[in-house]
Copies of this chain bind each other. A is one copy, B any other.
Amino acid sequence: MKKVHEINEEKFKINSLNKYASLMALGNGYMGTRSALEEDYPQQVRGMYVSGIYNKAYPEDSSDIVNLPDVFGVDMIIDGEPFSLLSGEILSYNRTLHMQTGEMTREVKWKNRRGKSFLFKFQRFVSKANLHLLASKITVTPLADSADIQIETGINGQQTNFGKQHLVEENVRVYDEKVMFATYRTSESGHKIAIAACCDFPESFTTVFLSKNRKLTAKSQGVLYANESAIIEKTGSVYTSLDKESAGQKIENLAVKLAKEAAGRGYHDLLASSGDQWEDFWKKKRVEVNSLNHFDQTALDFALYHMEIMTPGHDERFSVGAKGLTGEGYKGHVFWDTEIFIKPFHLLTEPEKAKKLLQYRYDRIEQAKEKARMNGYDGALFPWESAFSGKEETPEFAAINIRTGLRQRVASAAAEHHIVADIAFAVVHYYLATGDEAFMRKEGLALLRETSLFWISRTTEENGRLSIKDVIGPDEYTEHIDNNAYTNYLAYFNVQQAIYYMEQFQMLEPAFEEKVKKFLKHLYLPLPNDDKIIPQDDTFLHKPDIDLSKYKEVQGSQAILLDYSRSEVNELQVLKQADVVMLFYLLPDLFSEEVIRENLHYYEERTIHDSSLSKAIHSIVAARIGILKDAYRFFSEACLIDLGSNPHSSDEGIHAASLGSLWMSAIFGFANVKIDQDGLAIDPKLPKEWKELSFPLAFRGRILRVKMTQGNIEINKLSGQPMPILVRGQKYKLSSELAINY
């Protein structure tokens, strides 16, 4: 395996600090930390988050993923002046996220305002070997003169979620004049957090401990001669009362013990253990591409790195937020992004993790039923935004309406109901890829049944036809419309699959069957019109077009909402993201290639791609019908959603679904892997830029490794029973390996 790529920042840029803090975030699925620089800068947002630790700052608010006290921040005072790259002169700068090992490093040569030069090396990681551990190391060397160095670091409980404080400081102390320790309690959800941190300062330094205003700090001061290095190692530990494996133990003791023991082992030893885990990860899951564009591999490595650190594979009680654990965008809430964009990677590399993500929904089915009941429906209506409780967490308000000056209400909770079918889709997909009958029998069928009951109750009968009215499809720029094509087809699929599997598992009740059959018979499924265009909803095609080029240029920024209010946008043929195209992606066999091509063209022209969920889906749909040039362009553009030059695109966290969709582009688009009742099919559609693509696949108990070039495909089965496989439309039996030239 070639070396995993790095993410580099070669110049200090104040404007992109928050972008790189997200991009270079560290984590392990249990916790995530933004890679804010050690020293503070205005508007730089630090953040540490633990999966599942949400809180409401006040009763009428929705839950936030809690920004926990900070451990990586360091104030350095050099000859009496705070170290800041805004002052003095930067002689050299490089920051690197070593995705191979999960470490972030920064090397800076800097001249202060008095003309003294220093070399700084900053290193840090969040351990993949111990979910509760993080560590950092700082090496400071004055290059030509002696200097007075003062370092302050500890546990900083002044962190907030953009001004909202979720934590009550409960206990603060120092053990053995060494281990700083603090406990906190989330103010509403009542989780307990224990954090310990242990610093090793140079022996010649003098250290005191200070506790004030929610900050517990070790302040260490000393003089360094020219070329003498000060090395500061810090270990930190985080435990919470939600931790499963700590049940019955005092998390306070665990935190102190771990920080102390880790300090005894030292930074490099700890990093090595964590790096071993990362090596294993890449070995098992990496997608390798030999592309004319070196950056394609970087983007795929980046996607997989983040898929790994965002997913709480250790605990089925949590799921993945729209920004992973890299920022506070969308408050850490869980959307359909998880089922449709993030789960597939896990499903086909480590299905146990995919199962946990579905388990997360299953465990909240009662809350979903309650939401349905409250809204006058049957079955389960899953919340548009979900956190820990399983209740609807969508915030009440979005941005200011430019016409009225009032904040605009967010309609998604009330109308973006397709999430129900998305979850059902993910259940079916999970079963098809794993054949996990135990899951299907219990959790899977329960989910399919309750989601079906919801859809059945969600319809309105008019002249014998069933409509689904007043919804929002994936395209959120078109609200409160009737018979959204995506929603109706997915709802149909949902109900159809429910009855199919209930029959299969001999769990079909006659009363249910009757309702279902009526639904399937009468549900209105919009068909292509004379121009072959599937109407996105009942009224969409009657609305006027406008010139979108201005907004497409700054796509992702929702700039159109600065010129038009939401309700004005609603009356235009303007899409935020794939909608009918999304339908083609999920249910590719419903429509002819011609219909897909015409609709792709029609809708893409009208799509701003303001959602990061859009581009890669277009890529996949285009690839499958062989429009490879467009497919590759869409893919390349999708890679830039986080990694592009916009300095603010990822300020509030990476785009988790977008990263999942990059993997999907490679596997479901260019490799054109398809999983259905008939099993596994592969029908490569490699763009000309890609010389080779290889990746692992977990499928129904087997581990496969697939490698394809232009005109050749090799499939190795690394474990599991022989299986049939469809390659380029032809049936093969895969015993141990298969090589096909074409």
Contact = CB atoms under 8 A, between A and B. Distances in A.
Interface of A: 14-15, 39-43, 57-58, 60-61, 75, 80-82, 84, 86-87, 157-160, 162-165, 168, 172-177, 187, 208-216, 328, 397, 399-400, 402, 405-407, 562
Contacts of A176: 405
A407 B562 contact: no
Contacts of A163: 157-160, 165, 213-214
Q: Which 4 A-B pairs have the closest CB atoms?
A: A158-B163, A40-B42, A174-B405, A162-B213
Contacts of A209: 400, 402, 405
Contact of A210 (B60, B82, B400): B400
Contact of A86 (B87, B211, B328): B87
Nearest to A88: B86
Contact of A82 (B14, B39, B61, B81): B14
Given A14-B81, A86-B84, A214-B163, A177 B42 contact: no
B41 A406 contact: no
Contact of A211 (B158, B174, B407): B407
Given A187-B58, A402-B209, A160 B162 contact: no
B165 A158 contact: no
Contact of A84 (B42, B164, B562): B42
A226 to B, nearest CB: 25
A542 B395 CA distance: 66
Contacts of A397: 172, 211
Contacts of A86: 84, 86-87
Given A157-B163, A211-B400, 8 more contacts: A14-B87, A42-B84, A43-B75, A57-B165, A162-B214, A163-B165, A173-B405, A176-B405
A379 B203 CA distance: 56
Nearest to A181: B405
B168 A162 contact: no
A164 B213 CA distance: 9
Nearest to A86: B86
Nearest to A180: B405
B165 A164 contact: yes
18 contacts: A14-B81, A14-B84, A14-B87, A15-B81, A40-B42, A42-B82, A87-B87, A162-B213, A163-B214, A172-B397, A173-B400, A173-B405, A208-B562, A209-B405, A210-B399, A211-B399, A211-B407, A212-B399
Nearest to A80: B15
- Copies held by the complex: 2
Of A175, A209, A210, most B-chain CB atoms within 10 Å: A209
A61 to B, nearest CB: 8
Nearest to A77: B15
Nearest to A187: B58
Contacts of A213: 162-163, 328
A178 to B, nearest CB: 9
Contacts of A15: 80-82
Contacts of A208: 402, 562
A215 B43 CA distance: 13
Contacts of A215: 162
A147 to B, nearest CB: 16
A209 B561 CA distance: 11
B43 A40 contact: yes
A406 B159 CA distance: 22
A78 to B, nearest CB: 12
Of A173, A187, A213, most B-chain CB atoms within 10 Å: A213
A733 to B, nearest CB: 57
A132 B503 CA distance: 72
A243 to B, nearest CB: 23
Nearest to A14: B82
Nearest to A164: B165
Nearest to A42: B40
A212 B80 CA distance: 37
Contacts of A187: 58
B173 A406 contact: yes
A82 B647 CA distance: 13
A42 B43 contact: no
Nearest to A212: B399
A322 to B, nearest CB: 15
A214 to B, nearest CB: 5
A407 B42 contact: no
B399 A168 contact: no
A172 B14 contact: no
A212 B331 CA distance: 12
A112 to B, nearest CB: 12
A307 to B, nearest CB: 27
Contacts of A58: 168, 187
Nearest to A174: B405
A187 B168 CA distance: 14
Contacts of A173: 400, 405-407
A407 B405 CA distance: 48
Contact of A214 (B84, B164, B406): B164
A165 B80 CA distance: 31
Contacts of A172: 397, 400, 407
